[in-house]
Structure 1
Amino acid sequence: MAVVEVNLGKDSYNIHIGAGILSELGQLMRQFAFTAKALVVSDENVGAIYGAVVVETLRQAGFSPRLVCVKPGETAKAYETAMTLYTAAIEEGLDRRSPIVALGGGVVGDLAGFVAATYLRGVPFIQVPTSLLAQVDSSVGGKVAINHPLGKNLIGAFYQPQLVVIDTAVLATLPRRELYAGLAEVIKYGLIADRDFFHYINEKSNAILAMDNNVLTAIISRSCRIKADIVEQDARESALRMVLNFGHTIAHAIEAGTGFAQFNHGEAVAIGMRGAALVSHYMGIAEPEVVENVCGTIRRFHLPLSVAGCSAAKLHSYLLHDKKVIGGKINWILLRSVGEVQVHSDVPEQIVSRVLAEIT
């Protein structure tokens, strides 16, 4: 089992990574002074496969868990769904030391984390991510949220988990499309922080797509370490942490502009990274070969490079609802070279319009 430490003072926690460790969740949770009541939140797809395993491991460790499954998909990150979970927590009698466990992908993690952050003004939160995207990204760093009809993740909090347990074996049941979606975030880490890791991803592409467990463990561990290093320096996205949003400015507009249905998050991020690379090039920051490297790697992992069914004008309207808009200006994360990014709030409107037209 690999362990990545996230050092955030009193909010520090460990990420445990390994094949077949889902059954050890109960024992890992026993190290904390939790009370017996526990709420396990999953979606109907993941819960049907792994819900019983998690409930049993918690029972064997002395917990009294209740499993609640929500509808799969981004639309579950809604106020109404959160209210359903609050009701379940109240009915079960969860107190301030009762853990809420997120068993699922990024949607479940965001939703359950938001409920954990706000129920009784905060109860213990455990992340058990089952998608590659959640394992390398949304389960690390403490950003939890629900959506609003006008934008994604606009209602949320920074709330760190007390434990993250990543079982690489669960990826065997992950649909290929979801595997590719997670790889978009893995690619992002190489682009923003580690040129050698970016080259490793490309060199090991066949092994990654063949689900080689050793390679998967390596890329998950490295991705978590990169994000942890950034979060340790900036836990609340005030400065450095903004770089983690490379590709996400356009991605969130794509997701909202297409009703959170046409593209999953990783696919939207892939298109957004191409868009950000193009903005970087047209701003004179990145050479053409940088854009080519970004696009080539995205293609290698079967991810999209353009949007269908959403106009450039519609995307532009959603850009202004992005969380990184300060004083009416968008903070763009731009690529200087592989492994090096910069934050810019001075991107001319004509460049934004040109790029949006190019990706639609």
Structure 2
Amino acid sequence: MIFRQLFDAASSTYTYLLGDGGEALLIDPVYEQVPRDLALLDELGLRLLATLDTHVHADHVTGAWRLHERCGSAIAVAQAAGAELADRPLSHGDRIAFGSRHLEVRATPGHTNGCLTYVLDDRSMAFTGDSLLIRGCGRTDFQQGDPRQLFASVREQILTLPDACLLYPAHDYRGVTVTSVAEERLFNPRLGGGVDVGDFVGYMSNLNLPHPKLMALAVPANLRCGRPEGDAPPIDMPDWAPLTLRFSGVWEIAPMALLEHAAAVQIVDVREESEFIDRLGHLPGARLVPLSQLPDRLAELDRERPVVAVCRSGVRSAQACTMLGKAGFGKVANLAGGMLQWHAEALPVECVSEKE
């Protein structure tokens, strides 16, 4: 089974990818991170069957609708949440299959009325959303939250799993990535040890926390499964050439696509001068700017025109793309495979002897 834990820094949200037999599920996808998730699915050769939200989030907008539009994936969320556009409303005891594996759905309300925990078939891991965080839990003072209900949900549906079962929450604000049933049963200050329901209710009733900053935007959007209001904006894809986003965050252009769009872009070769004139030659019209000199020569480039970075294999040029992006260049791509792939496809090159 393939398992990946992904992170959105803006909301401290974890998204989880599970794959088996070429099929995949995404748990708690984030709207802005959809390009990243699509790139990973593509690189791993996985077909997205469904997105699963653990609840109607108040701190970010789900990527469920956006992924549905791109992949045709089902949108799964608790039936109790009452979300529009969900084509797979989930209830306690449901199963969600992918490949030869499945997740068991457990209703764990209390943080919100529609909270779910997803448990892997062999009970080796569970995805708890905000019902149980690492050494904590979600608040209970809005979205039909109920501390008594949350206490029962966690104690009966999560902490009854095997001790070694790994627990993966929807958020962590300290960078901690995983815990276990045994750890939380012993050390969770709100729900573990000798804490009883009276202790828990008293604690949760006096948190006095401000509402999440994005709550007024996120909750209505998530009740639409992430679909924007009115005319939906297009998926954020560069329109100046056919590009592929890699999981590293770098956009790539295939050699043949670059040949077709060469007249409209700036080709920047970031190899050393000796490489620029060696047996591989260089692309017609390429400008030589070695990677070590790039930060000091940005003024030579037109910020309004797309830039394609080139090197021998695509490694240094990928680094150049990252540097250019941080410097404010908005249209940047890496030549996939570099000069090696360009030669493999027998595309035209220039060399010093041709100019003499």
Structure 1 length as normaliser, TM-score?
0.28
| Structure with the larger helix share | 1
Pick the structure with greater CA Rg: 2
- Between 1 and 2, higher relative CO (CA 8 Å, sep ≥ 6) is seen in 1
